[in-house]
């Protein structure tokens, strides 16, 4: 299981820039950033190399941060790759709250991040189906 930071942001100019600058100043390297927005506010989800450092830096800069555990899965970069993974998740009746992916530079696979309601069951099912569930070190480390 992997730690993801979620930051609650009001929609106002410069807020996202301020967030990323705070991380940059703390020497945090982001692996993935995903913004989910509604009309008035957004939540920004971040996977980075040092989640605890990042959390401290953001809270110090006045942001509201929550830490969520998510599942990171290596998905083959071919048609139907993601569908295979989702079918396994569906087979154990788990709901996907949200998902996003990022591609490893130079690799043949993508990393997909899933937030599910029953992470333990889903992880076991994925492993049983021969799908590689990634550990923290593999996700946080820079792919280059």
Partner 1 sequence: MFQPEVESMVRAELDSLQLERLNALLERAYANVPTYREKFDSAGTRPHVDDLAGLAGLPFTVKDDLRAAYPYGMFAVPLHDIVRVHSSSGTTGQITVVGYTEGDISRWADMMARTIACAGGTADDVVQIAYGYGLFTGGLGVHYGAERLGATAIPISGGNTKRQVQVMKDFGTTILACTPSYAVLIGETAMEMGIDPHDLPLRAGVFGAEPWSDNMRTQIEEMLGITAIDIYGLSEVLGPGVASECLEKHGLHVNEDHFIIEIVDPETLLPVPDGEQGEVVFTTLTKEGIPVIRYRTRDISRIIPGECQCGRTFRRMERVTGRTDDMLIIRGVNVFPSQIEQVLAGIPGVAPHYQVVLSKRGSMDHVEVHVEVGPEVAFDEIKTLERLRNRVASEIASTLAVSLDVKLVEPKSIQRSEGKAKRVVDLRNEGSE
Find out whether 85 and 96 touch, Cβ atoms under 8 Å. no
Distance CA 13, CA 65 (A): 19
Q: Is residue 38 part of the contact set for partner 1 (CB under 8 A)?
A: yes
Closest CB 64 distance from partner 1, rounded Å: 5
Query: How far from 35 is each of 11, 44, 95, CA to CA, in Å?
Result: 11, 4, 20
Q: Is residue 63 part of the contact set for partner 1 (CB under 8 A)?
A: yes
Smallest Cα–Cα separation from 33: which of 20, 23, 19, 46?
A: 46
Number of chain positions touching partner 1 (CB under 8 A): 19
Closest CB 97 distance from partner 1, rounded Å: 5
Q: Which one of 50-58, 61-69, 121-129, 131-139 is the stretch in contact with partner 1 (CB under 8 A)?
A: 61-69
Distance CA 126, CA 144 (A): 26
Q: Show contacts with partner 1 in window 109-138 (CB under 8 A).
A: 115
Query: Contact residues for partner 1 (CB under 8 A)?
Result: 4, 6, 8-10, 36, 38, 40-41, 43, 45, 62-64, 66, 68, 97-98, 115
């Amino acid at each position: 299981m992997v730690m993801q930071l979620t930051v609650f942001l009001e929609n106002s100019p410069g807020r996202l820039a301020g967030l990323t600058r705070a991380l940059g100043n703390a020497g945090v390297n982001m692996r993935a950033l995903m913004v989910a927005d509604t009309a008035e506010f957004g939540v920004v989800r971040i996977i980075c190399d040092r989640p605890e450092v990042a959390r401290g830096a953001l809270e110090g800069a006045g942001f509201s941060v929550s830490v969520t555990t998510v599942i990171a899965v290596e998905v083959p970069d071919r048609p139907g790759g993601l569908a295979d993974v989702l079918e396994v998740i569906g087979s154990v009746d788990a709901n996907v709250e949200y998902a996003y992916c990022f591609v490893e530079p130079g690799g043949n696979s993508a990393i997909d991040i899933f937030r599910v309601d029953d992470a333990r069951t889903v992880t076991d099912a994925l492993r049983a189906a021969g799908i590689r569930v990634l550990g923290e070190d593999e996700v946080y480390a820079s792919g280059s």
